[in-house]
């Protein structure tokens, strides 16, 4: 099992292991050594979000990369998918993003993409982990204050913005009122320039990062914020997370439109244009049964993957699917990009709305969701849940009563010390009863 890498890279409190200077330096050395197996002089492109720790982490990582024999380049503050795109376009050996995505400002993380623009396979991350632990036995990291990140090349961000505009040729937003919540994160550096090319009336909110306000009561973790603003002032709202690899939406009525709804409208649009391969999409275990039912009416098959966009992509590739994503707003358009991209998703959705002549609410009006609740429980350790008798018994009781007319998904977060309990049921009372029973069993056994 991986000890450092979760479902989306390495993530922790900045300054504490495994995001202390020595480990970060070791990550750079280990990554450079892995890359040298395929390139004599490997090159890496770095990007970061707006956390106050991102600068010194970039500097420590760069020092490790250089020590390991690689050359580092910087795109500065850009989104995670921007680095995936740039790594592929400019033929870098790898791309690295310094971000903790939707986590609070005091956390940070390291995400690594291969030169092909895809997240690393689990087995590659395991090899890098082994090398990191070997490096930790011998390396002495220089003091971060004595280090510096590479100079920022502004052409990288311009390249990425040009790609986004080319992905939806002819899109014009004239006559449309939009609210964009940038979460005080990486989208703050790109969204203003990008949407200036598209017309329309655009209201930018939470686009003034100060190093500590990323995701703070805004962004994709708090979609009700943009929904309220949209109901008051706009036709459509879009909200990103800290590194803008996902997006959620709001319609003119102030309703939150999540990733399930976006998958539905995108699947219908692709099918209408004969672009939905095999009439199949890939969602996750967390997607609502209502999505599955709506797709079935359109003769579209939905496969389910484990949570994590890299796992969605694996199932998509195995089934040659042309659309996949998560309820949280990670949407994958493999004909356009190698990874989930919130800004790209926003443009695609806006393009569908414009071409259809319908409102966002109208496009998904028939999506009837089952009552669903998700409870997060902070845990002190991640013991396999099937090994805890009380937890396993509570899960079996829920599944037995639902008897196929609902779903139970209980799993650990891949990025935080949390257990997540998701229950869907036709009856809200039944749903909440079982959610609380399972959550209480987990708290009693593992609660932090």
**Hey, what are 313's tokens?**
């992509």
Active site residue 138: no
Sign, Cα dihedral of 238, 242, 245, 246: negative
d(CA 268, CA 88): 29
d(CA 363, CA 251): 10
Query: Which is nearest to 109 in space by CA: 171, 22, 16, 194?
Result: 16
With b for 16 or more beta-carbon neighbours within 10 A and e for fewer, the 37-51 pattern comes to: eeeeebbbbbbbbbb
Query: Which is nearest to 340 in space by CA: 348, 351, 349, 332?
Result: 332
Q: Which of 53, 54, 101, 439 is catalytic?
A: 101
Return the residue matching tokens 């990291």: 141
d(CA 202, CA 347): 13
Q: Which helix (H) or strand (E) holds 270?
A: helix 259-272
Q: How far apart are the first and last CA of the chain?
A: 23
Angle separating helix axes 428-446 and 389-402, nearest 10 degrees: 170
d(CA 65, CA 59): 10
Query: Which is nearest to 117 in space by CA: 160, 148, 153, 76?
Result: 160
What dihedral do alpha carbons 390, 394, 397, 401 form, nearest 10°?
170
Spatial contact of 370 and 423, defined as CB atoms under 8 Å apart? no
CB-based contacts of 40: which residues, under 8 Å, 6+ apart?
A: none
Q: Which residues are catalytic, by number?
A: 101
């Amino acid at each position: 099992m991986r000890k450092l890498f979760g479902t989306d890279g390495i993530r922790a409190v900045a300054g504490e292991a495994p995001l202390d200077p020595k480990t970060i330096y070791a990550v750079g050395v280990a990554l450079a050594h892995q890359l040298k197996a395929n390139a004599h002089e490997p090159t890496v492109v770095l990007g970061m979000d707006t956390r106050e720790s991102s600068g010194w982490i970039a500097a420590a990582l760069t020092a490790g990369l250089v020590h390991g024999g690689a050359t580092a380049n910087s795109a500065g503050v850009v989104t995670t998918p921007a680095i995936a795109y740039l790594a592929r376009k400019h033929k870098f050996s790898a791309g690295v993003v310094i971000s903790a995505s939707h986590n609070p400002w005091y956390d940070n993380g390291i995400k690594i993409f291969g030169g092909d623009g895809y997240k690393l396979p689990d087995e590659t991350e395991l090899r890098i982990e082994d090398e990191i632990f070997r490096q930790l036995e011998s390396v002495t990291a220089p003091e971060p204050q004595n280090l510096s990140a590479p100079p920022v090349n502004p052409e990288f961000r311009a390249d990425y913005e040009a790609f986004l505009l080319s992905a939806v040729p002819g899109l014009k937003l004239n006559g449309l009122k939009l609210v964009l919540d940038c979460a005080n994160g990486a989208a703050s550096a790109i969204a203003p320039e990008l949407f200036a090319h598209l017309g329309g009336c655009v209201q930018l909110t939470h686009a003034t990062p100060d190093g500590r306000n990323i995701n703070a009561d805004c962004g994709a973790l708090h979609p009700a914020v943009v929904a309220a603003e949209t109901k008051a002032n706009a036709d459509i709202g879009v909200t990103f997370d800290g590194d803008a690899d996902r997006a959620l939406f709001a319609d003119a009525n102030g309703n939150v439109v999540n990733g399930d709804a976006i998958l539905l409208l995108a699947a219908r649009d692709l099918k209408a244009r004969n672009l939905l391969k095999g009439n199949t999409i890939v969602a996750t275990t967390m997607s609502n049964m209502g999505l599955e039912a709506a797709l079935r009416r359109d003769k579209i098959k939905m496969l389910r993957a484990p949570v994590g966009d890299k796992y969605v992509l694996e199932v998509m590739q195995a089934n040659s699917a042309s659309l996949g994503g998560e309820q949280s707003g990670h949407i994958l358009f493999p004909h356009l990009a190698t990874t989930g991209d919130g800004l790209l998703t926003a443009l695609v959705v806006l393009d569908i709305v414009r071409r259809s002549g319908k409102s966002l609410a109208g496009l998904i009006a028939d999506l009837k969701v089952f009552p669903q609740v998700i409870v997060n429980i902070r845990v002190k350790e991640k013991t396999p849940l099937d090994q805890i008798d009380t937890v396993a018994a509570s899960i079996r009781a829920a599944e037995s009563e639902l008897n196929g007319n609902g779903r139970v998904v209980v799993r650990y977060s891949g990025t935080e010390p949390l257990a997540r309990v998701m229950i869907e049921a036709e009856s809200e009372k039944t749903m909440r009863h079982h959610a609380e029973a399972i959550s209480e069993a987990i708290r009693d056994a593992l609660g932090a």
